[in-house]
Amino acid sequence: MKIAWHNIKYGIFAIVWMAFIWILSGQSSLDVGLSGFWDIAFKKSAHIFVYAILGLLLVKLLLGHRPWNKPGSQFAFAGLLLLAFFLGTLYAIADELHQSFVPGRTSSILDIGIDIIGLFFGLVWGIRLATDKLRTSLKILLTR
C-alpha cells in the first residue's frame, strides 16, 4: 500500500508541475523587469530550474521505494531512469511546440537543450535521493 500511495502522490506532483510549466509557457509575455544579458540569463536559468524539478519528480515517481541493492535490479533501475529521461525530453519538446503557438512567444531548439540540461540535473538529484547517497553526503557535509 505504501508503494501505491507513493506513486499516486508523486504522480500528482509531477502532473501539477507539468501544468505549471504549461501555464508559464502559455503566457504571451514573461517580463521580469530585466534587460539584455540579465533577462536572458534569468529566463534560461528558469528553464533549468523548472526542468530540474520535473526530473526530480519523475525519478521519485518511477524509482522511489524500490530496493536497488538486489542482484539484477540495476537493469530495472537503468530502464526506469531512461524512461524518466524520455518522458521529460518529450515534455520539453511538447512544451516548446505549445509555446510556438502562443502570440508574442517563440520556440527554439536551444530551449529544448537547456530544458534537457535541467532535466539531467533533476535526474541526478533524484538518483542520489533514491540511492540514499545524497543523504549520506549531506550528513558528512553537515557533521564536519
- pLDDT digits over 37-64, tens only? 887 888 889 999 999 999 999 998 887 6
- Residues 106, 41 contacting (CB under 8 angstroms): no
| Integer-rounded Cα radius of gyration of the chain | 17
| pLDDT tens sequence across 99-133 | 999 898 888 899 999 999 999 999 988 888 776 66
pLDDT value at position 82?
92
Confidence label for 71 from pLDDT (cuts 50, 70 and 90)? low
pLDDT > 70 fraction of the chain, expressed in percent and rounded? 81
- The residue among 122, 118, 126 whose CA lies nearest residue 48 is 118
What is the C-alpha to C-alpha distance for residues 125 and 121, in angstroms, rounded to an integer?
6
Structural domain spans, the chain: 2-143
pLDDT value at position 141?
53
pTM for the predicted model, two decimal places? 0.83
